[in-house]
Amino acid sequence: MTLQVGVLGYRFMGQAHANALARLSMFFPDAPAVERDVLVGRDEDALADAAEQLGFARTATDWEDVIDEVDVFYNLGPNHVHAEPSVAALEAGTPVFCEKPLAPTLAEAEAMAAAAREADVPAGAAFNYRFVPAIQYAKGLIEDGELGEIHHVRGRYLQDWLVDPDAPWSWRNDEELAGSGALGDLGSHTIDLARFLVSEKAGEIEQVSGHLQTFVEERPVPGEDETRPVTVDDAYSAQAAFESGAMGTFEASRFATGHKNDHTIEIQGSKGSLKFSLERLNELELLREDSRGYETILVTDESDPYVEHWWPPGHVIGWEHTFVHENYEFLSAVAEDGAFRPSFADGLEAQRVLDAIERSDETGEWVDVERR
């Protein structure tokens, strides 16, 4: 059986996932067969061009027309279109793969997770960094106890594309459309990675203290002689208390001059430590018990997660491969009626932490992460 895939959104994420869908059968012969069936968007001309470039058989301008026609629905639109089409697709019994953060608000994320619980099909949150081989290798080491008891989790995600005050306004600068700024766009990745790596040892995040900052209050609208207000954060920082007593320190910025897509995570435990940087994603820095310093492990052996599907040892992989891996796992779960993680429940858990960071910024106090 060939899975017919419908995709809403054809820009950055549309391209990243279409590339993954095209690569699948070439490198993962055991993946289910897929067809890039229908591409959904509003601007008919741009949509037609994108469908041709990305290899889709047809286009549609209304998601309501496709959600029960396709076998899988990918929601890769801006954050404000995550909730309604995803919930409708799940109610129609169609599996959904949705970009991160799950939604602009906690209430919408709760509704999406509730729809996923009701539906008997996979609902995946597209946190692609879980699928870096070095990250999965790190998770194995932590769960095998190589780091001992976890004390510190440090994550930072630094970009600089808004440091120029004349950089154009986009939906990512608007609270209604995006929910939050660097916090949701980048912080959601870091919080999900932290959970993925340490939640088995350290539990969930129980309390946070957060700080949000907007450096430039309005930006020029492309093609128009006006500016629009920036209603989200340009940067955030947070401290987090895990159930076990482990401490988390997180930050992200779109104003970190010189840093393009610099996502790092460091974990220190009672027996050892590790460091990962997305800019060197084939490597893991590991400090083992009784060692005086970190060793750099090139995580490209055949035995490393996903690597046997690509090239011989040392023939490094890149950012786009993480999308191939997550698409492989998600579509395999769809074909085999299996479970996929990160699920909408994981997306909701990250959103609860984002929400708590915002509430803490408003009150100036430590707050509990609310779980209803």
Does residue 108 touch ligand SOE according to CB under 6 A? Answer: no
Does residue 180 touch ligand SOE according to CB under 6 A? Answer: no
Decide whether 185 or 233 has the Cβ nearer to ligand SOE. Answer: 185
Does residue 159 touch ligand SOE according to CB under 6 A? Answer: yes
Nearest-approach distance from CB 71 to ligand SOE, in angstroms: 25
Check residue 282 and report its DSSP letter: T
- Contact string (CB under 6 A) for ligand SOE, positions 296-335, x = contact: ----------------------------------------
Decide whether 90 or 178 has the Cβ nearer to ligand SOE. Answer: 178
**Could you give the C-alpha distances from 356 to 125, 202, 239, 240, in angstroms and in order?**
20, 19, 11, 10
The three-class DSSP label of residue 205 is strand
Kindly calculate the radius of gyration of the chain based on its CA atoms and give it in whole angstroms: 20
Decide whether 32 or 184 has the Cβ nearer to ligand SOE. Answer: 184
Does residue 261 touch ligand SOE according to CB under 6 A? Answer: yes
How many CB atoms lie under 10 A from the CB of residue 339?
A: 9
Nearest-approach distance from CB 112 to ligand SOE, in angstroms: 18
Residue in 178, 121, 194, 139 with CA at minimum distance from that of residue 343: 121
The tokens of 22 are what? 């095209």
Nearest-approach distance from CB 159 to ligand SOE, in angstroms: 6
How many CB atoms lie under 10 A from the CB of residue 305?
A: 17
Beta strands across the sheet bearing 2-8 = 58-60, 33-40, 2-8, 72-75, 96-98, 123-125
Among 37, 108, 110, 185, binds ligand SOE (CB under 6 A): 185
CB-closest chain residue to ligand SOE: 185
Residues that bind ligand SOE in the complex, under the rule CB under 6 A: 12, 159, 185, 261
